[in-house]
Structures are given as C-alpha cells and as structure tokens.
Structure 1
Amino acid sequence: MLCLPLLPAEHIRPTFDMMSGLNTAPHINPLLEYMSNTWINSTVWPVESWSVYGQTVRTNNDVEGWHRRLNRRTGCAPPLYTLIRTIHEEVMKVENMIALVNEQQLQRIQRKASRSIQAKLFAAWEEYSAGTLSTSGLLKRCSTFYRPVVPKRPEEVELNE
C-alpha cells in the first residue's frame, strides 16, 4: 500500500481495489477504509496529485529545508518589515537559482544511498513502462527499496558475519 504513489495515477485505483479485494483480515478494514476515503476517492487530494510516477523529486524536503532556513534567518515572530525584506531576498535567490537550473549549472545534492535508490527505481519504472514488469512486480520491487532496515537481534548474528 505504501508504494501505491509510485504507480502511474491511472493504475493506482484499480491496484488498490484489487489489493483490497484480497484482504481477509478484518483488522485491516479500517486502514483500507481510511485510505479509500482520504486518498483513493478524495476530492481534495485526487490520485493525480500524489502519484509520483516518473518524478525525480518525490518529497517536500526542499520546502522543509527552505522553511527551516527562513526561520533561522528571521527568528520567532519577526517584525513585519524584517519578514518582508527576508522574503524579498529569498525571491531574488530563487530567480537566480531558476536561471542556473535552466542552464544546467545547479544540481541537487543527493546522498549516495538516495542516488542508488533513485537508479533502482527508475530502472524498475523503465521495465514497467516496457511491459516487462507487472504492477505487482513493480510494487514488490519498490517495497525492497523503501523497507525499513531492522537490526538483527544479537542471538541472530552469526559469528562468521
């Protein structure tokens, strides 16, 4: 379910319906109902607005970073004119950054692990687009990229590791 946003928008609803139909655990029904009401059939957040299929940027981390930088520069509850001046300075920087991006002079800084996941994800998307990877295959593969890493318990660690 967590990988549904990685599908093309037009494939999300049928896939959700298929997955919901396979559910035999009654305790999962509230989650499915929540997802259906809040995301799948939402008029506020249509599926097209949260499908990130084929997109290189899939988080709001850039916005969060900008907000943190703005707060650091202005402090808590700044005077109105200080806030206006700071926002104006930010607007001027954004115009310069847009020009640099258009000229391919500015690139995103991305950690090695994120680049690796990005490469695997785009390779999976290419296979999916080519028809050599099924929807369930894409979801399974994507789940391996984004699953949490659970450390082994000491009794599970072999001495030869």
Structure 2
Amino acid sequence: MTNHNTPTLQVENLRVYYWTGRGPVKAVDDISFTINRNERFGFIGESGCGKTTTIMAILRLIKRPGKIESGKILLNGDDIVSIDKEAMRQTRWNRISLIPQGAMNSLNPIMRVRDQIADAILTHRGTVAQSVLRTEITSLLDMVELPAKVANMYPHELSGGMKQR
C-alpha cells in the first residue's frame, strides 16, 4: 500500500547483463537509488555507461540477450521485477512511462494527433466505442494542457513543447 513516506521509485542492487559468446557484459552492475515523491532525478554519464539500460530495466523492456540478473525495482512499494508481463504492461500504461530525448520527432508526420493517441489507446485496451475514444482523447489532451483542437492537427502544426506533451 502506498503512503506519502513510501519512495516513488526505489532501485536496489540492480544488475543487468547482456550475454554474449564471451560471457556477460555488465551493463549495469549493482546500482541503487531512491526517488521520493515530488523529487526530480536525472542520470548523467558518458555514452555506454548504462543510463538507457537502467531505464529500460525499470520499465522491464530489456531485450535479449539482456537480462535483469538481480536486484529490486520497487514502484510505490510494489516489486515490479517479479510481476507477470500483463501486470507490467498495465503498470507501464497506468503508473510509469518514458519520454525519450527525441520525443518531438516520435510522432508520425502523416497522421493526425487524434489517430496516434487512438492507436495507443486501442493497443492497450482493445476495442473501444468511438464516442468513448473521442472523450478519452480530449481528456488526455486536457491533462497535458492542450486544447481539444490539437486532436485534429498534424505534428508539423505543433510547437516543440506541444509535441513533447
């Protein structure tokens, strides 16, 4: 159960290795940190030091030959290393996400914003009535302080800040 004293994210002794024919490449080797409620946190380091691998491990998106070898990842006190794939998919949809550095360039330039948001909703929820979908899209835009008219726009019509949101 989450309370205000529970860290938002706690990573303990995380190890992520990529297995090769020559043995393991220790991409992340025993990292620990805590992020508390309303705290900001950043990773700084040279290329190849494990920043992206750490984030991908937290999101449980490590691809083979990579593997979380050991450690704990607690999201609001819940261990997300041990939950099944469906529960983790729901966690990524509802509780944690990643905004990549190149987020402004991740929108499909030939699709309206509404269609891209609809694709994401349908991917995670399956079939949704059109009226519910329209309401959900408007609600999501409102959550990031974008007007409903943005739904009908193409990415090139948006500012950089609007694209990031």
TM-score bin, normalised by smaller chain: under 0.3
Give the structure, 1 or 2, with the largest relative contact order (CA under 8 Å, sep 6 or more). Answer: 1
**Larger helix proportion, structure 1 or 2?**
1
Task: Give TM-score scaled by structure 1 length.
Answer: 0.21
Task: Give TM-score scaled by structure 2 length.
Answer: 0.21
